[in-house]
Amino acid sequence: MEKAAASAPGKVILFGEHFVVYDNPAIVSAINLRARVEVSTYDRRGVWLRDRKVVNHPAVRAAEYIIQNKGFSKGLNINIFSDIPPKVGLGSSASVSIASAAAASLIIQGRIDRELIAAAGFEGERIVHHNPSGIDTCIALNGGVGIYRRSKGFTKIHIPLETILIIDTGRMRNTGEMVKKVREYMENNRERFNEILVDAEELVNIVLDMFKNGDLEGVGKLMLRNQALLREVGVSSDEIEEAVRLALKSGAYGAKLTGAGGGGCVICLVDEDKIERVYLNISNRFKVYTVRLSAEGVKEEEI
């Protein structure tokens, strides 16, 4: 194959970001914003991004990993088309890494080698996250909704929730720096951090029961408790707190930052009947997206 294309979804973490780095469980969903990556063979060796040599790019690094692993003697040129806003906590870098690795795998192996692209996507993510838990690449690969734990991997679950509102606070941030900030908090407050990990895990367990019982109001309240824990470890911001307050005032059951925080996006849990009203109210102040949860994972696309 001379040319191939693949796409992968972005994600929202519903519960447990940051704590998942320390092997806590997190609940994560793929969303219907996707990145599409087209790859073609190239007459120059190595991986090129739109005919340019670019270093430290997750999609380039992921494709390089496939080339190196398979001993491919030619080069690859990649082109990215993404609807996922970058650097706001929606998994853009994982999605482009996984889609790029999948398209490279299609060219070199004639199929999507899921095990290999999982490793390649993780390598791509390391450029951005430094110490990724693997949650973003895992959901980009698998799609759906599930519980992720670093030491145990991913288990799909069903939740009675199809749509969520995402508020973009307008501030981009660096995931690696936010992960480092939490590490510093942990090093300076070891005892309290351990208590926070226990609380965060308990929240996830209660939420899973609430989802089973269809208690979205209860889930919304626990989102606020999760947000309080994230605030305590230093990854909230004034804009995030403002967005959470506005979401609640507009009628959401709950809201919290999603992803690394420090800016980026806030997710709002809203009753299906109220989504339009809440959307309009929030959009007077912030950019808002209505997204569908549980989107399909990585897949081959027509070229």
Tell me the catalytic residues: 136
List helix spans (H) across 213-271.
Answer: 216-232, 238-249
Residue 235 to residues 82, 90, 203, 239, 249, Cα–Cα distance (Å): 26, 16, 18, 12, 22
Nearer to ligand MEV, 99 or 107 (CB): 99
- Residue 141 CA to residue 277 CA, distance in Å, equals 34
Stretch that binds ligand MEV, among 66-74, 110-118, 133-141, 214-222 (CB under 6 A): 133-141
Nearer to ligand MEV, 135 or 247 (CB): 135
Neighbours of 202 (CB within 10 A): 12
User: How far apart are CB 38 and ligand MEV at their closest, in Å?
Assistant: 25
SS3 of 117, please? helix
Confirm or reject binding of residue 243 to ligand MEV (CB under 6 A). no
Confirm or reject binding of residue 186 to ligand MEV (CB under 6 A). no
- Residue 135 CA to residue 94 CA, distance in Å, equals 9
Contacts of 236 (CB under 8 A, 6+ apart): 227, 230, 257, 261, 262
Stretch that binds ligand MEV, among 15-23, 103-111, 138-146, 246-254 (CB under 6 A): 15-23
Confirm or reject binding of residue 259 to ligand MEV (CB under 6 A). yes
Site map for ligand MEV, 85-114, x if CB under 6 A? Answer: ----x-------------------------
Contacts of 297 (CB under 8 A, 6+ apart): 8, 9, 30, 139, 140, 141, 142, 143, 144
Confirm or reject binding of residue 129 to ligand MEV (CB under 6 A). yes
User: How far apart are CB 12 and ligand MEV at their closest, in Å?
Assistant: 9
Positions that interact with ligand MEV (CB under 6 A):
13, 17-18, 20-21, 89, 129, 132-133, 135-136, 175, 179, 259-260
